[in-house]
Structure 1
Amino acid sequence: MTGYLSLTIILFSLAAFYVGRSAATRFAVAGDRLAVHSRPIYHGAFAAIWVGLPALVLVLVWLLFQDGVVRTLVVQSLPPSLTEGASSSQISLFVSEIRNVAAGRIFAEPRPEIAAAAERYASWTVLANWAMVVVALCMMALALFLARVRISPRYRARQSFERALDIIMISSAALAILVTFGIIVSLTYEAIQFFRLVPPTEFFFGLNWEPQIAIRADQVAGTGAFGAVPVFTGTLLIAAIALIVAIPVGLLSAIYLVEFANRRVRGIVKPILEILAGVPTVVYGFFAVLTVAPAVRQTGSLFGIAISPNSALVAGGVMGIMIIPFISSLADDALKAVPQSMRDGSLALGATPAETITKVLVPAALPGIMGGILLAASRAIGETMIVVMAAGLTANLTANPLEGVTTVTVQIVTLLIGDTAFDNPKTLSAFALGLVLFVVTLCLNVAALKIVQRYREKYE
């Protein structure tokens, strides 16, 4: 229903644009054109944005709060026999079961109380959706009427439209900042809850990572070990292998395309390199598992070297192929920005093309190159799918690239799978890992920006 409502808002906005433009066109034709303040297209744009924007904001706000309101009503309608003495995690499990039953995802016969609650949840959700549609349509009709009333020959439609665009852009920037702030607050809060249960010294300096612990009294499981050093070292090992593969290939390909390739070759090779950035990571994972891993194991067996089926070498190598476009494109742009006069001056002084590249071009383009490398490192550290499929899930403290390791992102995924309560150290440890990953990638991005700003050269 949301999709149809979005289409309706778009169509209503287009209709408002046509109404506003037609009205302004009649003003311009009937009277003095110099007496009309704004062009008809601005009147139409004003009417369209006056109709569509409030309705869109209403729908977004409605959807943001609808589920919470329906959830509260459903929980309040549950019989006291279910809710009395129940913790927040148990209430969440009840709500999850109710949603599954309402959606038809039934694996066993639900209890009568849950089945009745699921019927109420489904009916209240449908009622809320239809109420949203009716309110949005009424708001758009009222907005179209008000916009049409305000349209006149001397109305400053252009200023109103530009003011609305300024509000949209400022709101978008503020929303991005608020989302970032919300991510930081949520990660920090949950990480603090984790460090109340697990000492920070064990997390940052412990050498054993086994987060599996019992969540029920009758369950057989380990006591849990949350030493994250093996996870951090595995992340750094795979990222280092990826950079070892990507930096030479990306930098040399950029030098070739800028300095040696003709226009035809560049027009073919550069788009092919950039296609690598658009390939889904799951495709790289399948390529690593089905092609690269067997080839690496067979090569190792020829030399009598035992290689694990899941190894950091395979994951890092394929990840290096994935991040080549990041380094190549940024290095290409940085090398092209170096003035031709510097090349000509170096060659005129007797330097060879190789000496010109190594002693003039690369140093001059070093800020852009380093920025691309650090951004590629951030991408490698945050990769998940390739590591899951090619490196495994075992947290081994090793520097041997032929063994299986795991990374921070893989552990976050595995820890948050299932219905484990959020007050459990196993689940909370994912937020501690996420906070560390966020800080590391933020520092790399800030370092890239600082390098570019500090060593950037401005050429005439």
Structure 2
Amino acid sequence: MPTFWIMITVLALAAAGFVVGRSQAVRAVSGNTRLLHSRPNYYGWNVALFTALPPLLLLLIWVLAQPAIVARAVEDHIPAEAIADNESRSLLMADVQRSATELGRAVSAGTLTEAEAAALTPLDKAAFDRLAKAGAKVSDTPHVLAAAQDYRSINKTAARLLTGLALALALGGMALALSRTVPEFRARNVVEQVVRGVLILCSLIAIATTVGIVLSLVFESYNFFRLYPWQDFFFGTEWTPSFGGGSKLGILPLLWGTLYISVIALLVAVPIGLFAAVYMSEYASQRVRSIVKPAIEVLAGIPTIVYGLFALVTVGPLIRDWLAMPLGLGNSASSVMTAGLVMGMMLIPFVSSLSDDIINAVPQSLRDGSLALGSTPSETIRQVVLPAALPGIVGAVLLAASRAIGETMIVVLGAGAMARISPNPFEAMTTITVKIVGQLTGDNDFASPETLVAFALGLTLFVITLGLNVFALYIVRKYREQYE
């Protein structure tokens, strides 16, 4: 049975367990639920949780472990001389998995019977002709075909075993929970403990994911620095990767472009976003606010590729024709200014929404006290409201800066891909994120420094954005003022 249907079956059993458990608890006290320790629903949830959680946990473990287990089992059937190195092993296993998938599709489509697929050999020309006519690309290499058949056989056997174990765990958990469904059973306490455990598990998964991302960057960056000097990477002023050798992989041109574009974006987003927040929170009527705030927040929902196309087709040519060329500063539509302006437009709702919420959190009593002392509304905003909200506003700006540093599509289409250090904002430049995509795109040697450099770039970007986020939290916590 496929994993999806196992999950549906387990959830159906859990729903049935909920009904049976609740009914059994009510029957045990002849309908007088006041004699129960917990409410009837808790008894139902106790049965449902013990029915669903063990098999679902088994399914999760299997989904994570199945590829490695099956691949290891299949590799044992492949001749050692067919695997020269790790790269050959990965390519060979990809071919095995593809052939196994094509065989499964051929059986499902009726091109081959199950027996024919299991007994298929490279000598069976008629079967291969049928596969070719059906568009199924099955390898005719003997050891690959045999491994693909083993792959399907092991997966089928494992699926049957998984189905049996999952149903056994579900029925066993249901039977155990029902046997404990008596009036004095503390069902509420057990259900709350189980739910707390599930919440802790979800938190640990999130933490483990973060740790896994960081460790993958660290290990691959370590491999890169074993092949390329870290001094040349961090202090080099030239970025000219070449898979044929002789690469110069200095990060400074990329870091310059990243920071240059981000600064221009913040110079656009922060004033406009902050002034919009002040207007919405202090001057706009409720009716106007209900229209303006959603209209600004629509900008946050626009895909970044759309912003990139807007930069490429509209903003870039306008800046070139009206500013760069008349001033003699450039003739390219792709420039730092183009990407910075469009990225700033994208960041406006981040700054305005966060700042608006922060300004609204300032107690009304501070405004009333300032006005009572004779201050004008503008003076109250400038000298009372904004200073009180300043820590939160600084945090919002730094979070917007982190968002700007990690942007890719707007830079690709708006700023170009030229790695250079130049003060001219009307010249094409690029950022770290763009080069990460470029170095990992295509059929490249994954053991070369030109590919591994992407992980070093990613680790550097991660450290920068993490530092900004930590600094933002520090500012907010250190200077937050509590008001009664």
Provide the rounded CA distance (Å) in 2 between the counterparts of 1:157 and 1:190. 49
TM-score, scaled to structure 1 = 0.91
Q: Where do 1:205-224 residues align within 5 Å?
A: 205-213=235-243, 221-224=244-247
Q: Determine the structure 1 residue equivalent to 2:14.
A: 13
Contact kept, 8 Å, 1:392 with 1:406, in 2: the verdict is yes
1:91-170 matches, within 5 Å, as 91-104=89-102, 111-170=141-200
- CA drift of 1:302 comes to 6.9
* Corresponding position of 1:367: 391
Answer with 443-452 or 126-135: which moved more.
Answer: 126-135
Note if contact 2:391-2:475 (Cα within 8 Å) is conserved in structure 1: yes
Report the counterpart of residue 461 of structure 2 in structure 1: 437
Deviations 1:387-429 (A, max 9, x none): 2333233322223222222222222222223343443212221
Task: Give the stretch that moved more between structures: 104-113 or 244-253.
Answer: 104-113
Match of 2:46 in 1: 46
Unpaired segments of 5 or more residues in structure 1?
Answer: 214-220
Return the match for 2:278 from 255, 272, 283: 255
The 8 Å contact of residues 339 and 415 in structure 2, kept in 1 or not, is answered as: yes
Q: Residues 121 and 406 (structure 1 numbering): CA distance in 2 closer, same or farther, change over 3 Å?
A: farther
The 1:19–1:108 alpha-carbon spacing in structure 2 relative to 1, beyond 3 Å, is closer
Q: Could you tell which deviates more after superposition, 404-413 or 300-309?
A: 300-309
Q: For residue 457 of structure 1, give the secondary structure of its aligned residue in structure 2.
A: coil
Change (3 A) 1:368 1:74: same
Identity percentage over the alignment? 47
What number of residue pairs does the alignment pair up?
450
Letter in structure 1 aligned against 2:379:
E
Mark the CA change 1:109 to 1:7 in structure 2 (over 3 Å): closer, same or farther. closer
CA distance in 2, matches of 1:230, 1:401: 14
TM-score (norm 2): 0.87
Does residue 1:414 correspond to 2:446, yes or no? no
CA distance change for structure 1 residues 278 and 10 in 2, over 3 Å: closer, same or farther? farther
CA distance in 1, matches of 2:38, 2:193: 14
Shift of 1:187: 1.6
Instruction: Answer yes or no: is the 8 Å Cα contact 1:24–1:39 preserved in 2.
Output: no
Counterparts of 1:185 and 1:322 in 2: how far apart (Å)?
Answer: 31
Hey, what's the Cα distance between the residues in 2 that align with 1:242 and 1:3?
A: 45
Query: 191-200 or 61-70: which moved more?
Result: 191-200
Pair 131,410 (structure 1): closer, same or farther in 2 beyond 3 Å: farther
Q: Are residues 423 and 143 of structure 1, via their aligned partners in 2, closer, same or farther at CA, if it must alter by over 3 Å?
A: same
Which of 112-121 and 73-82 deviates more?
112-121
CA offsets 1:182-210 (integer angstroms, 9 cap, x no match): 22222222212211211111010001112
Q: CA deviation at 1:445?
A: 0.9
Q: 1:88 is matched with which residue?
A: 86
State the alpha-carbon separation in 2 of the partners of residues 11 and 279 from structure 1. Answer: 39
1:329, CA displacement in angstroms?
A: 1.5
Write out per-residue CA displacement over residues 283-311 of structure 1, whole angstroms, 9 at most, x where no aligned residue. Answer: 32233333333333343477365342322
How far does residue 330 in structure 1 lie from its aligned partner after superposition? 1.4
1:356 partner amino acid: T
CA, structure 1 residues 385+92, in 2 after alignment: closer, same or farther (shift >3 Å)?
Answer: same
Matched residue SS, 2:242: strand
Larger Rg: 2
1:182 alignment counterpart: 212
Q: Letter of the 1:52 partner, please give it.
A: A
Query: Which position in structure 1 is the counterpart of 2:408?
Result: 384
- Look up the SS of the partner of 1:93 in the other structure: helix
Superimposed CA distance per residue, residues 123-143 of structure 1 (whole angstroms, 9 cap, x where no aligned partner): 433443443333222221221
Q: CA shift at 1:149, angstroms?
A: 1.4
Match of 1:230 among 219, 241, 253: 253
Aligned residue among 205, 209, 231 for 1:201:
231
Query: Is residue 217–residue 456 contact of structure 2 (8 Å, CA) maintained in 1?
Result: yes
* Residue 110 of structure 1, CA deviation: 6.0
CA distance in 2, matches of 1:136, 1:295: 63
1:424 to 424, 439, 448: 448
Does the residue aligned with 2:24 lie in a helix, a strand or coil? helix
- Structure 1 residue 361, shift from structure 2 partner: 1.2
- Root mean square deviation of aligned Cα: 2.3
**Selected match of 1:344 from 368, 392, 399:** 368
* Residues 420 and 135 of structure 1: CA distance in aligned 2, closer, same or farther (over 3 Å): farther
In the alignment, the residues of structure 2 paired with residue 9 and residue 307 of structure 1 have an alpha-carbon distance, to the nearest angstrom, of 64
Give the deviation of 1:448 after TM superposition: 0.8
1:75, distance to aligned residue in structure 2 (A): 2.1
Contact 2:269 2:345 in 1 (8 A): yes
Aligned to 2:30, the other structure's residue is in SS state: helix
- Answering whether residue 358 of structure 2 is matched by residue 334 of structure 1, we say yes
Cα–Cα, structure 1 residues 303 and 169, in superposed 2: closer, same or farther, change >3 Å?
same
Measured in 2, the distance between the counterparts of 1:93 and 1:59 equals: 28
Partner of 2:55 in structure 1?
55
The aligned residue for residue 217 of structure 1 is none
CA offsets per residue over residues 322-362 of structure 1, 9 Å max, x none? 22222112111111111222222323333332222222211
How far does residue 108 in structure 1 lie from its aligned partner after superposition? Answer: 10
Unaligned runs of 5+ in 2: 103-134
